[in-house]
Homo-oligomer: A and B are copies of this chain.
Amino acid sequence: MTEALNPIEWKNDALVLLDQTKLPNDIVYEEFTTAESVWDAIVTMKVRGAPAIGVAAAYGVYLGVRDYKADLDQAALVNEVQKTAAYLATSRPTAVNLFWALDRMTAVTATDASYQDALLAEAKAIHKEDEEINRTIGENLLTLLSDGIGILTHCNAGSLATSKYGTATAPMYLAKEKGWNFKVYADETRPRLQGSTLTALELSRAGIDVTVITDSMAAMVMSQGKVQAVIVGCDRVAANGDTANKIGTLSVSILAKHYGIPFYVAAPTPTIDLNTATGAGIPIEERHKSEVIEGFGKLTAPADVKVYNPAFDVTPAEHITAIITEKGIVRAPYTENLKLLMRDTI
């Protein structure tokens, strides 16, 4: 067994991230000790995946204020926490876990221990909850699958996007533990290639049968009867079930609908945002054109050509067979059922 990849760890009073931009070729861990460097790691996608971004940002808030210990009074420190959280919130707009984690951090109050110790404890709690959530999502998802099937996934909602197990990949790891014989098709996921660089890496290291395809091949493998379930992660689920996830997910959902294949969204409850009514209200990040035309080590289009590069798209709720959370499986009507689920959660 090859050494496990740990995307995010708190170690020696520092946040240690596996630099995901260097995978699959180089396994490089980097230490972060300031809020600014954490902000930069999120923007440049050294850390990515909605849950991992939330966890990293939580540690980032603590790192941003821990040096103030001696200098500031409690009120001034609270102000610094707010400022740091507001700053980290500007790193990426779409995944709601970021804002959810920052809200938890700004809600921390001083205890018997120092305020900073409480902040660090909260960041660690968020981190630990994420691990527990994933296994439960995996167990819930596994009840919808069976031995011998083909599963298609898009992007990486794996152990590299979260903590152990991942979300969309959690049932794959559990199926492997049960000795199931199944195949995974991993869309390479342009432009950043999280499917080939990350999902294919982590699944093949775990001995899972994974085949990389370009995003454009998903329809063909579905038409050949090779796919019995699509499982994806998500960056934000609106109150009506509309789901933002990596660009290309909408396309996969339409293909799955066309071929009558169930389309499952793995969603930790921190990714469900009842304050956003529909997908139309989810801000979609647009990233630089260089990701599309300069990623191949050379220009792959005329330098001055127009490029459209949205990082996410929104899959309408009606394309989604079920949303699988750690609290249970949610089906349509989503508006009612998500509200019920979150009432139990909060």
Contact = CB atoms under 8 A, between A and B. Distances in A.
Q: How often does this chain occur in the complex, in copies?
A: 2
A307 B217 CA distance: 11
Interface in A177-200: 185, 187-191, 193, 196-197, 200
Interface in A236-265: 247-248, 250-251, 254-255, 257-258
A90 interface: no
A220 interface: yes
Nearest to A216: B248
Interface residues of A, number: 55
A188 B294 CA distance: 12
Secondary structure of the A side of the interface?
mixed
A214 interface: yes
A216 B217 contact: no
A67 B217 CA distance: 44
A67 to B, nearest CB: 38
A174 interface: no
A72 to B, nearest CB: 46
B301 A211 contact: no
B251 A251 contact: yes
A212 interface: yes
A283 to B, nearest CB: 14
Contacts of A24: 299-302
A216 B190 contact: yes
Contacts of A217: 247-248, 308-310, 313
A220 B204 contact: no
A211 B251 CA distance: 19
21 contacts: A24-B301, A190-B214, A190-B215, A193-B296, A197-B301, A200-B302, A200-B305, A212-B301, A212-B305, A213-B308, A214-B215, A214-B309, A215-B248, A217-B248, A217-B310, A217-B313, A218-B251, A220-B247, A220-B250, A295-B296, A297-B298
